Structure 1
Amino acid sequence: MPMHVMSCFRLPKGVTNKLFSAVSNFWWSINGQTRGMHWLAWKKLCRHKRDGGLGFRVLEDFNTALLRKQLWRLLDNPESLFSRVFKGRYYRNATPLDPIKSYSPSYGWQSIVSARPLVNKGLIKRVGSGISISVWDDPWIPASRLRPTKGNGINFYPYLRVRDLMTPEKSTWNLPLLNKLFDTLDVSLIMGIPTSHFDKPDSMGWFFIKTGRYTVKSGYMVAQENPDDDGMVPFGPDIRCLQAQAWKISCTQKLQHFMWQILTGCISVRARLRARGMQIDPQCMRCGMAAETINHMVFECPPALQVWALSPIPTAINRFPIEGLFTNMAYLFWNLPNDDRMRMYPWLIWFIWKARNDKVFSNGDWDPNEIISHAAAEASAWTMAQTRQTSVRTISTAMVDTIRSGDRCQVDGSWKETDPRGGLG
């Protein structure tokens, strides 16, 4: 992506659409030349993995987050050359956040000020002297959500400043006045804000990060809080927890992605292809007893049932496997016994899928015991590789710590003194 350009200028809508199209076609294409079938809307793929997507970036929101970084620089470093040039040209007696109309503004300035809505979502006023902070209008309360104070009745002081809530002698909070103006929750939050005996100037901070300094990652997350424009409230079961769990399974990333495809419906079984408009017979080619849905292919088809029955995975009538795909996957994710043999189920599903493809395209038949043996061997090999990798990482860390400490270390089977600077003596 053109990161440098996006951090300085707002990309036109036509450019972002072309970039979207290129990435989407590459993702769904089989060989990089054909278009491929787009199983899921790009908007859903751009959701975070914990929300059922794949975490692709929405370029408009990422562009805004990068431009917000430039706006933060104008606010955070007012004495820099970058800030003084823009201040002298566009906001001499104001701040970059004030909606001031400029005569013939540059495209760079228009791009930067287009990030103002994102700034207003997370900008919080940090209390110093309190002179420049409005009690009722500015967000300065450190609550769970960014907001000003809540009044305790009719507001008789519309132009009240935070400084007016402090005692003039010791610069501490005036508790009787706070109890008079605000509710109990806000009084406790205000009393937790530290005050200064010196005239420390008020400052601004980013609410969504502990350090108070804006980062592009946090800005993008804020921009992605409400990605749906239709405002529709989803009904029915929420499967996002299942889709998020698919990325936490102890297996290869290829199998994690395959589990996500199963839960999202991005598998080219015959029923799904028929639903996408392809004129084919939806019946299962392995058994011919029912429509080939994803659940039928993985759990209900007789060859698949034989695999599950002969595998170490415990089965139970009316519990697993059953007609519900999400129920079956939830059983595998969270209800299996604590046994190392249970971790082979991603490979079982994968080889069931491979056996189905071999039957459809080559008319080959796999023995259920062969599928189980392949799955067990692959799972065991992956587990051993992970164990070796962890051991090598631990040994490497220990050796680095030993060398840095200046102690003795073993080289070529003999112990030698080490130089405290990191070399061998």
Structure 2
Amino acid sequence: MGFKTLRDFNLAMLAKQVWRFHTKPHSLISRCFKAKYFPQSDILQAPLGCNPSYAWRSIHNSIWVILKGSCWKIGNGESAKVWGDNWVPLHNGFKILTQKMEPFSIRHVKDLINMDSFSWDTEILNNLFLPIDKDHIEQIPIINTTNIDEYMWMHEPTGVYTVKSGYKAIKEWQDQQFSSTASSSCDTQVWKKLWAIHTIPRHKVLLWRILQNSLPVRSELSNRGVPCSILCPR
């Protein structure tokens, strides 16, 4: 069948159950689990809860697969959240790069849509988002605002989750993580070479701060909660 790792195969099968709970909420098994474990939320935001059964604990451990590999297909924009949700295809893991500035009234994607002209509100996009985010958002077609938002599995042409595509996605993510781990071992060599440089100590510290992204540039200040623009003033 092409499955080499039993653990990843089981995870892909459990994620299939999560997909069914999300896309078929009115089925009997979906209603039973919802009534007991997540009566006030969707399966994708469901907490583990107290004293969970083995079945629910196993299903809950696979929710991240659907969250990581799926993206909202925008209809009326009422379900997809602007900040944090996956709703921008082929861009930064389906998320926007622009950071949320508090306080702000924009919460759902519907707040960015001009319902009169059935198009994106250009004024809001220009004022709120980085140019790269604005360009990607404007490429999302608004076909029918009477339809609800739907979740699409981005690793399958049909947009429907399958165990085979889920297994392949899990393996790809693991390979990416392995590559990043390998690069971290290379970083160790970089630090050794840095501290071996024959120069005055403050130059070494400056190089270390640059490599650690600890210089007080605007992008780093914004990442640490300082309310400032991340764009270069020049």
How does the TM-score come out when normalised to structure 1? 0.39
Correspondent of 2:182 among 232, 236, 244: 232
Deviation at 1:61, TM superposition (A): 0.9
Q: Distance in 1 between matches of 2:156 and 2:86?
A: 15
- What displacement does 1:113 show? 1.0
Alignment of 1:386-397 (within 5 A): none
Are the counterparts in 1 of residues 91 and 136 from structure 2 also a CA contact under 8 Å? Answer: no
Query: Once the two structures are superposed, what CA deviation does each residue of 1:155-210 show, in whole Å capped at 9, x if it has no partner?
Result: 66374321111113233111122122223332222122222454321111112222
Which residue number corresponds to residue 109 of structure 2? 162
- Aligned residue-pair number: 182
What amino acid is aligned across from residue 232 of structure 1 in structure 2?
A
User: Which 4+ runs in 1 deviate beyond 4 A?
Assistant: 152-156
Stretches of structure 2 lacking an aligned partner (at least 5 in a row): 187-234
Quote the residue 2:211 is aligned against.
Answer: none
Task: For 2:52 and 2:164, locate their aligned partners in 1 and report how far apart those are by CA, in whole Å.
Answer: 28
* Post-superposition CA distance 1:275-297 (Å, at most 9, x none): xxxxxxxxxxxxxxxxxxxxxxx
Preserved CA contact (<8 Å) 2:83 2:100: no
Cα distance, 1:71 vs structure 2: 0.8
**What is the letter of the counterpart of residue 62 of structure 1?**
F
Q: 2:90 aligned with 1:143, yes or no?
A: yes
Paired position in structure 2 for 1:107:
54
Distance 1:153 1:99 in 2: 24
Are 2:71 and 1:121 aligned?
no
The one-letter amino acid paired with 2:9 is: F
- The aligned residue for residue 192 of structure 1 is 139
Q: Say whether the 8 Å CA contact 1:126–1:205 is kept in structure 2.
A: yes
Cα distance, 1:160–1:95 mapped onto 2, change above 3 Å = closer
User: Which SS does the other structure have where 1:60 is aligned?
Assistant: helix
SS in 2 for 1:146: helix
What residue in structure 2 maps to residue 250 of structure 1?
none
Match of residue 398 from structure 1: none
Which residue number in structure 2 is paired with residue 205 of structure 1?
Answer: 152
Within-5 A mapping of 1:42-191? 57-151=4-98, 157=104, 159-191=106-138
| Per-residue deviation, residues 63-84 of structure 1 (Å, max 9, x unmatched) | 1001111111101111111211
Cα pair distance change 1:107/1:196, threshold 3 Å? same
RMSD between aligned alpha carbons? 2.7
Is this contact kept in 1: 2:24–2:30, CA < 8 A?
yes
Higher relative contact order (CA 8 A, sep 6+): 2
Which secondary structure does the structure 1 equivalent of 2:152 belong to? strand
Identity, % of aligned positions = 34
Question: What SS does structure 2 have at the residue aligned with 1:124?
Answer: strand
User: 3-state SS of the aligned residue for 1:100?
Assistant: coil
